[in-house]
Chain A
């Protein structure tokens, strides 16, 4: 047989074998259902941690964690793309037909670059900055530099919570930089000495400085004592009451083991 014809046959053979393997993998879906948890980027690292421990504890079970933002997660829960949608903001009235369970509480930190001369602001000042009314750090005791405002995208639960608790009816400044996850906001603020942003308190690290708001330092203690007021719930949202695998996972998350896990990571338990 001449080489090219032989090659064609070999290729077709290999192709078919691999294709059969792939398609047979399709059938395994029936055997073991995967749980999809999608939504808030604030919750994502913690959900992933829960999933990691859950899967080690119950080998064979699979939990997939996605991001996309709180509104996307709620959408996904509604449409069925996800078994559990996660949200880092309260549900809106039109979303209340879905079932929500509080799995943790999280503070919202307003962050600036570590080298910033500003360490303490009032919530009113923060609102003015994010509204674009205060434009220069010098108006707040800092250097004579324009403030670079960094915010999250509209579907973000973190942004939703920030809007509700800090901005009220005031729109966030049009010229603000928009990024699509907590981590990215943190990276930008960590790199730009003149920037300001807001992220989940649980994700603050040494690369950024969390501001004192009205004199209160954002710590878990201050949140529990209700002194630091920027707190939002972490929600697991399901379409209808949770059942089956979803319920198992949520039970684990709410168990002592699950709650201990996130306490160690810097979140506040659901209580």
Chain B
């Protein structure tokens, strides 16, 4: 049947609008639901006290520390590795099979499910290397997970630095390394930091890999070899086992807020980055 194209368009427009509305509504609803149920629970006490009685009472302080420790450990390992790789790929080689292999490797790493990282981390770090359930095991595992993101964003950031900057630097007599450290890196910094912040967002929410490598101990971690629970894991345990729905919502609210803040910061940084090169 031949529809009048204008009529067809009107109908399609309505359908598309509806679908979009439903999609956005669902996504926004989830966030509002969590915040509405969880924010009332969040208080200074909630954030600063440790969980008691398996999490039924008390707060989530140790889990906040656990989350920060784990994320920081992961960044500590992944950032130098990732940025170094990115610099190598852009500044120190030509496009060749080598670079394609490295890049393909990073892309594949990005697609591996988190549970496989968890499996790998559990067998290698926790069991074989005898690190046990610890921030060390969890941090290293997370580092491998965020490595591809850091490589990808750093590479884009470094590539985006205009060639003219480099030319000027060389023409003034600098070596390659001086150019990289004093000209290219500082200019690429916002882009690199964006990638780092994105990875922070991902690490905070990660559960599958963390639960099998960092464990789920409720105490405040005292060293790198301590097991520690992250907020995401704490939420998982509380919610699943019905220990305390209100505390679960509270933890989720803190998580969602943290991610909101991180995304806003990323967005702001990216705007600044783009504007700089206008």
Contacts and interface: CB of A to CB of B under 8 A. Distances in A.
A53 B13 CA distance: 65
A96 interface: no
**Interface range for A:** 35 or more
Contacts of B136: 26
B219 A62 contact: yes
Given A7-B186, A22-B76, A32 B242 contact: no
A8 B52 contact: no
Nearest to A65: B217
Interface string A64-103: 1111000000000001111000000000000000000000
A81 B53 CA distance: 24
Interface string A1-41: 01011011000000100110011011111001010101000
A71 B219 CA distance: 24
A266 interface: no
B242 A183 contact: yes
Contacts of A26: 136, 223-225
Chain A facing B: main interface SS: helix
A45 interface: yes
A15 B226 CA distance: 22
Interface string B232-264: 000000001111000000000000000000000
B46 interface: no
Contacts of A51: 219
B241 A187 contact: yes
A52 B52 contact: yes
A154 interface: no
A182 interface: yes
Given A67-B216, A187-B242, A25 B223 contact: yes
A91 B154 CA distance: 52
A81 B133 contact: yes
15 contacts: A4-B189, A5-B186, A8-B181, A22-B76, A25-B223, A26-B136, A29-B225, A44-B54, A45-B54, A52-B52, A62-B226, A64-B133, A80-B132, A181-B241, A187-B241
